[in-house]
Structure 1
Amino acid sequence: MDSSLYIKGATVVLPTGSTRCDVVVENGRITGLPRSYANLRELPELNAEGMTVLPGFIDIHTHGAANVDVNAADEEGLRTIGRFFASQGVTGWLCSVLTDTPEQTLWCMEQAKRVIEGGPYDGAALLGIHLEGPCLSSEYKGAMPEHLLMHTASIDLFREYQDASGGHVRYTTLAPEIPGVEELIPELNALGITCAIGHSGAGYDQSMACVRAGAASATHLGNAMRLFHQHDPAIWGVAIESDLYVEAICDGRHLHPGSVRLYLKSKGWDRVVAITDSIMAAGLPDGNYKLGVNDVVVEDGDAKLASTGVRAGSTLTLAQALHNIVKFADTDVEHAVRLMTKNPATLIGFATKGQIACGYDADLTIVDADLEVARTIVGGRTVYER
């Protein structure tokens, strides 16, 4: 597939705001943003008149879609998820591996490695792995299998996972109260792993200590954690007060729209990351599904554990999240799209993704006047066209 093209006639969302310009893509990178027609190299042209070009969406926390669960996904299964995500404007994603047996987790590492290192295909690029666990609280485990949680943090297991993945574990979620987690964070950072705190009953002091140790984010803030109390603000208070990024599931179920507005008002538009936390049911009708080892029932689009009724991930897509953020915050697409482009790219350290600028990867999402995804481009190659 050719990775060079000339996109003309569109409104383009740049770091400075929306403007009418063309986008020049050569060998998968953005090389020009001319304000008037300037296809000097006679590149293949794409007429995007009436459309808006956005940076490609990045989902750093998802457990599956299209009837594929990340924990059970082989190489082709991960690509199936990526193809569905491409239809939702996603150009890059991290596969979130739920706490599982070491053997199954190592198998997941190998499958992800093959896809990441296998080169471009007709879907959203798998950019790395998110380990959600195993150092999580039993009390706030959510859908995590309690018997597989680690009750003392160990760098050895994380090193084993990182080695098996070829160095592609980019993100992990840790509970501050697990013994050894505070000391573990700098070691994980040294392995190239961004650390988030969550699935936790930790108080303010423990949580803040982990921030000082190098934690950079709070996993789906407000869900699967001890809530704010005036005498001990816990993770929620630390996340709001500090410079942590905060993940937000903007489906209207996990967070009230007012909570989303609170996050944006307190953190600013550069510290909130829109995630889906989606499961294999994303893109599919209500029914019975899996999340790791768990049985999940989806009713009216709401995913819950069959055994307890506890909410278990979502059926959200980032395409829908964009609509929701615009509505919840009464804002424009320029602001809303930051939550799923620049912010996750900065958090995880993808230095050439998340913005439309010269020298950046040509990962682009083209939407129509109703913000519906019309085309998704990864590295200059169209991977989805409506």
Structure 2
Amino acid sequence: MLEDNILTAHGWVRGYLRHENGKVVGIEGSPCNPADNDLPYLLPGFIDLHVHGGGGKDIMQGAQAFDTITRTHLRFGTTALLATTMTAPNHDISRVLGALGDFCQTRPSGCARVLGVHLEGPFINPGKLGAQPNFAHTALMAEVEDYLNLAPIKVITIAPEIAGHIELIGTLSARGIRMQLGHTLGSYEEGVAALDAGASSFTHLYNAMSPLHHREPGILGAALAHARFAELIPDLLHVHPGAIRAALRAIPCLYCVTDSTAATGMPDGEYQLGSHTVTKCLGGVRLADGTLAGSTLTMDQALRNLVKIGLPLAEASQRLSQFPADYLGLEDRGRLQPGSWADCVRLDRSLNITAVMVEGEALDFQNA
């Protein structure tokens, strides 16, 4: 048993974590300041609520891709995630959701836990597709019900300005589904109306949404003025560090996601993103016209980036673990305390991962 600087739900402890049957049963030690020693850090496992792919595979490819994607992200410290779909024809979305519904019921050894699905489209504005394929359409409750019968959908990205969407936001949020505003040309007023109806977050803040202008605040203005939660991609390519810091001051529970693609963990080259072919080069992923198309970010790099722009390690960890868990209403993930899942990441003093544990299972890095 190794001694660590353990980031607990109540602060840093120098000591040991004990677990049984996949759950934390005790943390032995005393409060500490990690600056006073040279021990490794033990943080809660990362929770990524926006994952399109990894290891050369894309979620929309179906069941044969899920093992590879979840194994890839576990190597980088993500112990739980939401499998995120792309805008596509209904039959393609249904096919993938059916496969994810089965996969979510178990966790193969060596894989991150798939907590459910983030449905990113098709209920978005066709004028703000970003890298989404052009299959956007207005949401109908019958279609949503069909999807809900196939898989545990936890998050839906939706454009509030589309006729009927405000009402749908109210109906679905009342059923516990997290409704996020994104891929939208909506106004500030439409964003506030959506929040009043039950919308609870914003998809990849700043990207693919109407921007802030001092006379037309847009969806971004609604987020900065009113949101408690929002997701953001901290690869330092999608959002400038100064804009990240502005969002951190405005949105109390800003949490970080990767928006990762099949290119994550892979060399430069061409990969699939839904029905699109994208190119990884120069640290990013783009369509042929240069549009950013997801990322190659991993959560451990997200942690290092947040620390690089000035966040204390404990706060950076919170925005990768606790806040995404809080957003989904999960009290047994995203923090290390008795009764929580034994999901944790050990890092050296340079914040490089040396070990990962998911639900009490230690990852074998030699065979990962």
Residue of structure 2 in register with 1:143 after alignment: 131
Aligned-partner Cα distance in 1 for 2:77–2:139: 37
Task: Tell me the amino acid that sits aligned with residue 254 of structure 2.
Answer: V
1:22 counterpart SS class: strand
> 1:65 touches 1:81 (CA, 8 Å); kept in 2?
yes
Task: Tell me the amino acid that sits aligned with residue 309 of structure 1.
Answer: G
Any stretches of 5+ residues in structure 2 without a counterpart?
31-37
Task: Tell me the amino acid that sits aligned with residue 24 of structure 1.
Answer: R
- Alignment of 1:285 with 2:267, yes or no, is yes
- Alignment of 1:155 with 2:126, yes or no, is no
- Alignment of 1:187 with 2:165, yes or no, is no
2:339 counterpart SS class: coil
1:31-50 to 2 correspondences below 5 Å: 31-35=25-29, 50=39
- Alignment of 1:20 with 2:8, yes or no, is no
The Cα RMSD (Å) is 1.4
1:159 counterpart SS class: helix
> 2:128 touches 2:209 (CA, 8 Å); kept in 1?
yes
> Deviation string for 1:121-149 (max 9, x for gaps)?
21111111000011111111111222x11
Residue of structure 1 in register with 2:79 after alignment: 91
Aligned-partner Cα distance in 2 for 1:138–1:120: 37
> Deviation string for 1:219-251 (max 9, x for gaps)?
111101110011121111111111331111111
- Alignment of 1:319 with 2:300, yes or no, is yes
Deviation of 1:368 after TM superposition, in Å, equals 1.2
Aligned-partner Cα distance in 1 for 2:358–2:300: 16
TM-score with structure 2 setting the length: 0.94
Any stretches of 5+ residues in structure 1 without a counterpart?
1-6, 37-48
2:255 counterpart SS class: strand
Deviation of 1:120 after TM superposition, in Å, equals 4.2
Task: Tell me the amino acid that sits aligned with residue 171 of structure 2.
Answer: E
Deviation of 1:213 after TM superposition, in Å, equals 0.7
Task: Tell me the amino acid that sits aligned with residue 25 of structure 1.
Answer: H
> Deviation string for 1:148-194 (max 9, x for gaps)?
111x32111111011011xx111110011111111001222244311
C-alpha spacing 1:110/1:153, structure 2 compared with 1 (3 Å): closer
- Alignment of 1:232 with 2:216, yes or no, is yes
1:108-119 to 2 correspondences below 5 Å: 108-119=96-107
- Alignment of 1:359 with 2:339, yes or no, is yes
2:126 counterpart SS class: coil
C-alpha spacing 1:121/1:192, structure 2 compared with 1 (3 Å): farther
C-alpha spacing 1:280/1:119, structure 2 compared with 1 (3 Å): closer
Partner of residue 48 from structure 2, selected from 49, 59, 77: 59
Deviation of 1:118 after TM superposition, in Å, equals 2.5
Task: Tell me the amino acid that sits aligned with residue 28 of structure 1.
Answer: G
Aligned-partner Cα distance in 1 for 2:11–2:88: 43
- Alignment of 1:302 with 2:284, yes or no, is yes
> 2:84 touches 2:120 (CA, 8 Å); kept in 1?
yes
> 1:211 touches 1:244 (CA, 8 Å); kept in 2?
no
Residue of structure 2 in register with 1:248 after alignment: 232
Aligned-partner Cα distance in 2 for 1:199–1:251: 19
Aligned-partner Cα distance in 2 for 1:244–1:208: 13
Deviation of 1:342 after TM superposition, in Å, equals 0.4
Partner of residue 383 from structure 1, selected from 347, 357, 363: 363
Residue of structure 1 in register with 2:246 after alignment: 262
Task: Tell me the amino acid that sits aligned with residue 292 of structure 2.
Answer: R
TM-score with structure 1 setting the length: 0.90
> 1:285 touches 1:301 (CA, 8 Å); kept in 2?
no
Aligned-partner Cα distance in 1 for 2:199–2:156: 10
> Deviation string for 1:239-285 (max 9, x for gaps)?
111133111111111000111111112223xx111100011001111
Aligned-partner Cα distance in 1 for 2:45–2:29: 21
Residue of structure 1 in register with 2:34 after alignment: none
Q: How many residues align?
A: 359
Deviation of 1:304 after TM superposition, in Å, equals 0.9
